[in-house]
Structure 1
């Protein structure tokens, strides 16, 4: 296609933002359906979290192998291939009649999402205008928006529509095929450069100038993603089994309460210096998780939802600040690679603890398992607070005090 027919820069930026939200919404769709599959195929919480977790492992493998590929071959080829792979995953969900099909569908979806996560985020950073650097905010807010849309839409369909999986995955199959075609209208924002084959070698690369900030923010990244994994995998089961609310929509709303308010947290702290956003977000996140522990102790559903709102706000602010701090001043040719390094940690935290919780719940029960899980998350968040305060006391600041949206950043699915 001639370059003259490509979308203008601003239109391309917002098109990429829509595609990012769409992809993340698809990754949130299965969460309310897990309980349906659990009842239909007859498996326990351990298998449920394995189906959930294998998606994160596949996504992680994709990030490790192709996370930096678009820095070498261009953004468009990676996006087209990954969107077509997403369409294949939706077809596998449509055909699912047992656990094996679910595992296959989640593996393929994870592979596609991993490629899209780093490439769409890098494209946003490429396309943002210097005078309007909205890339970091959109990257930070889009996971909450996308996952909320996906979870609530799927919850509504499960609660009120016959054969909800057919509806949602049939529509998404068509949408992702159209998305792959739509990428042809996007301008190419990353010049080809040597090293494409070498970039496929699995590795985690954090440039030396960014390692100190990476280490300081690491416990907070783990805490945020680990809690997100718990909500996405066992949140609807927690609502039904511990709080005795047998409504699929309510399970989706709990996920929305966490992820949706993450957008508010990112928006509220978007003009703060990165380290301040990280600090405030970590403290609010800690308070929210503490409220969740109180809700479990009292079996208070209103308190559970209120705590999820507070936790989500802290999540959004903390993640925006943490990623903005880590990626401050990153060179264009290393953007996708550094974001892949961030998401390697994120998706390990998203999957492994949730799988362990699913197994433990079969022996200790959901209430006790979730309580121990919440305490561990609080400890990690506080470790990040201590590390940040110590770093600021010894060095003054990890990065120059600039607004988070002026710093390259990106979130997850």
Structure 2
């Protein structure tokens, strides 16, 4: 019993370290408007700065997604914390667009290292038989950390001094504390190999996975694209169209989407993985419809409801997608298939967002948002219709 308690304490501390890293990836969200005022760049450049993060994540997933299996979890996670600290230093030193892009790229590299390694590490720290509870800890740490980033930055920017500096100074202190905790935690990889033995993971799609991968990837792409819009341009929409210039409010709206995603992922246990993917698609479609209403009628309530419903739909659909493609994959190709799904998901968090930024110049932010919604609704509707005609097997 004492051994189990110690293991759960370590599991919780590992989850806390995971959350601290993810906080840094969304910390700049409510601050983009302030950076625009300070450096005088367009909405398109805001989305480019935001999307640089996703390119960093994708690069790590492709080149080093399996490195912790060889060299150990702790060295990879410590490297991730160093990159997170370097990202905070870039934002603290920012004198122009280049610094912001560098900070976002380093943050993406950090998140890319943490996404797989920290999830597995948290589960390995749990006692035997605790896989389900450990999965909850990892999920809550990941999405909860993403949600706490804009909330923390928004509150500090609104109610404390130095809005462009204090959030990153606080995060730097949290990273330092997390490094001390991680140093104390045990290594879980017993047989380690040199870094030279690691080979990049190539995304792959065996024939038996292709039927389920299409709708799963489409739902993942749309869900992450919705998050991308919320975390990049929703503060600008709130300020320009709704005259909501309180950074704590804009940060809270974004945080709500991530917290709702956590709830959606947890609901998969009750709903069942087979039903969570089509239900998640329906939630995403409803969230997009609410966001369209918010853009058309300029209503804050609909923005909040879109974050709640769309976030829950994203959580349901993504965990359902992950379960479906994992179940359909042969054991020796599972890692490459999951990597391919994550690459598609993170493409969703970057490419459509840049498109919104590009269109916001000629047709305005609201018009660009409506074009985005129509395209994403068509994509997720196609996936939903396919899933209704070809249901995911109950075993997934």
TM-score (norm: length of structure 2): 0.90
Specify the alignment match of 2:369 in structure 1: 370
Specify the alignment match of 2:94 in structure 1: 96
Q: CA separation of 1:224/1:80 partners in 2, compared to 1, >3 Å: closer, same or farther?
A: same
Contact 1:62 1:114 (C-alpha < 8 Å) held by counterparts? yes
Cα deviation 1:155-191 (Å, max 9, x = unaligned)? 1111122212322211222322332232233332234
Contact 1:70 1:336 (C-alpha < 8 Å) held by counterparts? no
1:65 is aligned to 2:63 = yes
What RMSD in Å do the two structures reach over aligned CA positions? Answer: 2.6
Residue 229 of structure 1, CA deviation: 0.6
Specify the alignment match of 1:203 in structure 2: 202
Cα deviation 1:193-237 (Å, max 9, x = unaligned)? 669546443621456665543333010000001111111110100
Contact 1:282 1:381 (C-alpha < 8 Å) held by counterparts? yes
Alignment of 1:204-219 (within 5 A): 204-206=203-205, 210-219=209-218
Specify the alignment match of 2:105 in structure 1: 107
Specify the alignment match of 1:163 in structure 2: 162
CA distance in 2, matches of 1:309, 1:261: 6
Cα deviation 1:134-175 (Å, max 9, x = unaligned)? 344444444432222111111111112221232221122232
Contact 2:13 2:181 (C-alpha < 8 Å) held by counterparts? no
Alignment of 1:242-261 (within 5 A): 242-261=241-260
CA distance in 1, matches of 2:13, 2:284: 31
Contact 1:226 1:349 (C-alpha < 8 Å) held by counterparts? yes
Q: Give the number of aligned pairs.
A: 392
Cα deviation 1:218-273 (Å, max 9, x = unaligned)? 10000001111111110100111122222222211221232222222223332222
SS, match of residue 203 in structure 1:
coil
Contact 2:25 2:104 (C-alpha < 8 Å) held by counterparts? no
1:40 is aligned to 2:38 = yes
SS, match of residue 400 in structure 1:
coil
Specify the alignment match of 1:183 in structure 2: 182
Cα deviation 1:91-148 (Å, max 9, x = unaligned)? 1111111111111111111111111111111223434443551344444444432222
Greater Cα offset, 209-218 or 22-31: 209-218
SS, match of residue 365 in structure 1:
helix
Specify the alignment match of 2:315 in structure 1: 316
Q: CA separation of 1:319/1:245 partners in 2, compared to 1, >3 Å: closer, same or farther?
A: same
CA distance in 2, matches of 1:215, 1:292: 25
Q: Which runs of 5+ in 2 are unaligned?
A: none
SS, match of residue 164 in structure 1:
coil
Cα deviation 1:21-65 (Å, max 9, x = unaligned)? 222111111101111111011111011111111111112111211
Alignment of 1:115-134 (within 5 A): 115-128=113-126, 129-134=128-133
Specify the alignment match of 1:400 in structure 2: 395
1:153 is aligned to 2:152 = yes
CA distance in 1, matches of 2:79, 2:258: 28
Specify the alignment match of 1:298 in structure 2: 297
Residue 80 of structure 1, CA deviation: 1.3
TM-score (norm: length of structure 1): 0.87
Cα deviation 1:245-303 (Å, max 9, x = unaligned)? 22222211221232222222223332222121122121122112112112222222222
Alignment of 1:380-399 (within 5 A): 380-392=379-391, 397-398=392-393
SS, match of residue 328 in structure 1:
helix
Of structures 1 and 2, the one with the larger relative CO (CA 8 A, separation 6+) is: 1
Cα deviation 1:52-94 (Å, max 9, x = unaligned)? 1111111211121111111222211111111112111111111
Specify the alignment match of 2:78 in structure 1: 80
Greater Cα offset, 227-236 or 105-114: 105-114
Contact 1:231 1:255 (C-alpha < 8 Å) held by counterparts? yes
